[in-house]
Amino acid sequence: MNKASLNQYFHSLFPIEKEVVEKITESFSYFELEKNKVLIDVNTVSTQTFFLERGYMRSFILNEDGEQVTTNIYTAPCFVNDFLSFFKQQPSKESYQTITECSFWETSLENVQFNFHNIPDFREFSRLLFVVNYHKLNDRLIAMSSQKAETRYMNLLKLQPHIFQNVSLKIIASYLGITDSSLSRIRREIGKI
Amino acid sequence: MNKASLNQYFHSLFPIEKEVVEKITESFSYFELEKNKVLIDVNTVSTQTFFLERGYMRSFILNEDGEQVTTNIYTAPCFVNDFLSFFKQQPSKESYQTITECSFWETSLENVQFNFHNIPDFREFSRLLFVVNYHKLNDRLIAMSSQKAETRYMNLLKLQPHIFQNVSLKIIASYLGITDSSLSRIRREIGKI
DNA sequence: CTGATTTCTTGTCATTTGTCAAGTAATTAT
DNA sequence: ATAATTACTTGACAAATGACAAGAAATCAG
pLDDT the model gives residue A64: 81
A130, A172, A179, A183: which to substitute to probe chain B, counting the most B Cβ within 10 Å? A130
CATH class of B4-119: mainly beta
Torsion of Cα atoms, A105 then A99 then A132 then B43, to 10° = 160
Partners of A82 on chain B (C-beta within 8 Å) are none
Distance CA B33, CA B57 (A): 11
In percent, how much of chain B has pLDDT > 90? Answer: 94
- For range A147-163, the mean pLDDT: 96
**Nearest in space to B55 (alpha carbons), one of B145, B167, B152:** B167
* CB-CB under 8 Å, A146 with B69: yes
Residues B13 and B125 sit within 8 Å (Cβ to Cβ): yes
**Nearest in space to A171 (alpha carbons), one of A94, A40, A62, A68:** A68
Query: Which DSSP category does B178 fall into?
Result: S
In percent, how much of chain A has pLDDT > 90? Answer: 94
Residues B77 and B53 sit within 8 Å (Cβ to Cβ): yes
**Nearest in space to A178 (alpha carbons), one of B116, B134, B148:** B148
* pLDDT at residue B110 greater than cutoff 90: yes
Per-residue pLDDT reduced to its tens digit, B115-159:
999 999 999 999 999 999 999 999 999 999 999 999 999 999 999
Question: Is the CATH code 1.10.10.10 the one for domain A4-118?
Answer: no
pLDDT the model gives residue B133: 97
Distance CA A57, CA A74 (A): 5
Work out if B101's Cβ lies within 7 angstroms of strand C: no
Q: What is the mean pLDDT of chain B?
A: 95
CB of B114 within 8 Å of a chain A CB? The answer is: no
* pLDDT at residue A191 greater than cutoff 80: no
Non-local (6+) Cβ contacts of B13 within 8 A are: B125, B128, B129, B132
B122, B142, B147, B176: which to substitute to probe chain A, counting the most A Cβ within 10 Å? B142
pLDDT the model gives residue B1: 65
Computed on alpha carbons and rounded to an integer, the radius of gyration of chain A in Å comes to: 18
Supply the angle between the helices A109-118 and A120-146 in degrees, to the nearest 10.
110
Per-residue pLDDT reduced to its tens digit, B1-19:
689 999 999 999 999 999 9
Where are chain A's structural domains? Answer: 4-118
Q: What is the mean pLDDT of chain A?
A: 95
The three-class DSSP label of residue B94 is: coil
Q: Which of B69, B84, B128 sits opposite A145 (nearest CB)?
A: B69
CA separation, residue B31 to residues B38, B54, B57 (Å): 13, 11, 15
Whether the upstream peptide bond of residue B77 has omega within 30° of 0, thus cis, is yes
Partners of A123 on chain B (C-beta within 8 Å) are 116-117, 123
Non-local (6+) Cβ contacts of A93 within 8 A are: A42, A61, A82, A84, A85
Per-residue pLDDT reduced to its tens digit, B29-60:
999 999 999 999 999 999 999 999 999 999 99
- For range A99-120, the mean pLDDT: 97
- Number of CB pairs, chain A paired with chain B, less than 8 A apart: 85
Distance CA B113, CA A169 (A): 44
- Residue B137 CB: number of other CB atoms within 10 A? 18
- On strand D, nucleotides with any atom < 7 Å from a protein CB are 6-12, 16-21
* CB-CB under 8 Å, B135 with A137: no
- For range A13-29, the mean pLDDT: 96
pLDDT the model gives residue A193: 47
The three-class DSSP label of residue A102 is: strand
pLDDT the model gives residue A88: 96
Residues A184 and A149 sit within 8 Å (Cβ to Cβ): no
Residue type, A138: N
Distance CA B122, CA A86 (A): 19
